[in-house]
């Protein structure tokens, strides 16, 4: 951590990187607080693995894209295709999302999708981010995040899209919409989702300061619903799921829609403007310059 701050000072990033919380082991793993740099991987091996237990109607979706389950366009596309398949499969009533990686659930949006890309490509990427949230927040399935590692920014958004959040009781794991810390602004639908979950004042503090919460602090403000020992995150999600599935589906789905539809409709009716807004922001020279320096810093740490 101290090392990172020295590096970032060297790169002139002090403001932007002041709260970087990087959990590093053997210099290989790196959870950036907001954007993550995925090691390029040309293999076509799937980034996501889905197991549907037809006896229970519960699918477990495992994110397995090392090193940090960055949300790249490929990742998001694969994620959404899987989500859509499960949504259409009448034998599937519940979905648990978790990670196969040690220490990280998802590190959020992939920085490489935002650096040096054409506006068209940036827009395509942002549309995929929207799609991930729309599909999750409005899913007819019971959705649970089994958060077995850190989950900043886009990873936090994915968790917030679920019906219930169970996190590993490890104070070293953090979660939060920390975009502001990096000089980025969480868009209105990130904000709406957070307000719906933790209330207006906690969301205000959280977003203005770009706070990352340790697991215990996240529980305190209601950002997650439950903490359990790390090795029980998935099994607790499965136990909890069976309670949710005891509720009649139809009534639960209509109720969920009643709670969430206004928030979803707000994005649906502003979707293009939100994309335009993101693209014009991210393609600014000043932001691209910041991303470049950030990337170089991350690369130098890997070297």
The residues that are catalytic are: 109, 154, 178-179
Among 101, 145, 167, 184, the residue binding a second copy under the rule CB under 8 A is 184
CA-to-CA distance for 100 and 88, rounded, in angstroms? 25
DSSP structural state of residue 19: T
- By rule CB under 8 A, what string of x and - marks binding of each residue 234-273 to a second copy? ---------xx-xxx-xxx-xxx-xx--------------
Token pair recorded at residue 179:
């975009």
- Per CB under 8 A, 208 contacts a second copy: yes
3-state secondary structure of 45: coil
CA-to-CA distance for 121 and 98, rounded, in angstroms? 28
Q: How far is the CB of 21 from a second copy (least distance, A)?
A: 14
CA-to-CA distance for 268 and 274, rounded, in angstroms? 10
CA-to-CA distance for 261 and 259, rounded, in angstroms? 6
DSSP structural state of residue 182: G
Residues 144-173 that bind a second copy (CB under 8 A): 163-164
- Per CB under 8 A, 222 contacts a second copy: yes
Among 89, 124, 131, 204, the residue binding a second copy under the rule CB under 8 A is 204
- Per CB under 8 A, 93 contacts a second copy: no
CA-to-CA distance for 159 and 151, rounded, in angstroms? 8
Binding region for a second copy (CB under 8 A): 15-16, 18-19, 163-164, 179-186, 188, 191, 195-201, 203-205, 207-210, 222, 225, 243-244, 246-248, 250-252, 254-256, 258-259
């Amino acid at each position: 951590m101290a090392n990172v701050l020295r590096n970032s000072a060297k790169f002139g990033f002090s403001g932007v990187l002041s709260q970087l919380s990087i959990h590093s082991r053997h210099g290989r793993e790196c959870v950036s607080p907001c954007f993550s740099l995925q090691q390029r991987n040309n293999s076509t091996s799937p980034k996501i693995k889905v197991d549907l237990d037809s006896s229970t109607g519960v699918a477990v979706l495992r994110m397995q894209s090392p090193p940090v389950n960055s949300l790249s366009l490929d990742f998001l596309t694969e994620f959404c295709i899987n989500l859509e398949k499960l949504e259409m499969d009448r034998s599937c009533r519940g979905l648990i999302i978790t990670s196969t990686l040690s220490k990280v659930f998802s590190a959020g949006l992939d920085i490489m999708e935002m650096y040096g890309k054409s506006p068209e490509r940036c827009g395509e990427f942002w549309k995929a981010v929207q799609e991930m949230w729309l599909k999750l927040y409005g899913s007819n399935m019971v959705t649970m995040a089994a958060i077995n590692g850190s989950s900043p920014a886009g990873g936090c958004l994915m968790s917030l899209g679920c019906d219930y959040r169970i996190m590993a009781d490890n104070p070293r794991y953090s979660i939060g919409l920390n975009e502001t810390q990096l000089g980025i602004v969480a868009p209105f639908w990130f904000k709406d989702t957070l307000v719906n979950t933790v209330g207006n004042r906690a969301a205000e503090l959280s977003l203005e300061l770009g706070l990352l919460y340790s697991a215990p602090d996240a529980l305190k403000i209601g950002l997650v619903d439950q903490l359990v020992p790390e090795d029980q995150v998935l099994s607790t999600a499965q136990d909890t799921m069976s309670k949710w599935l005891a509720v009649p589906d139809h009534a639960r789905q209509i109720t969920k829609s009643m709670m969430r539809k206004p928030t979803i409709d707000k994005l649906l009716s502003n979707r293009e403007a939100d994309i335009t807004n993101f693209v014009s922001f991210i393609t600014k020279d000043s932001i691209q310059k910041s991303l470049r320096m950030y990337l170089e810093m991350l690369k130098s740490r890997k070297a």
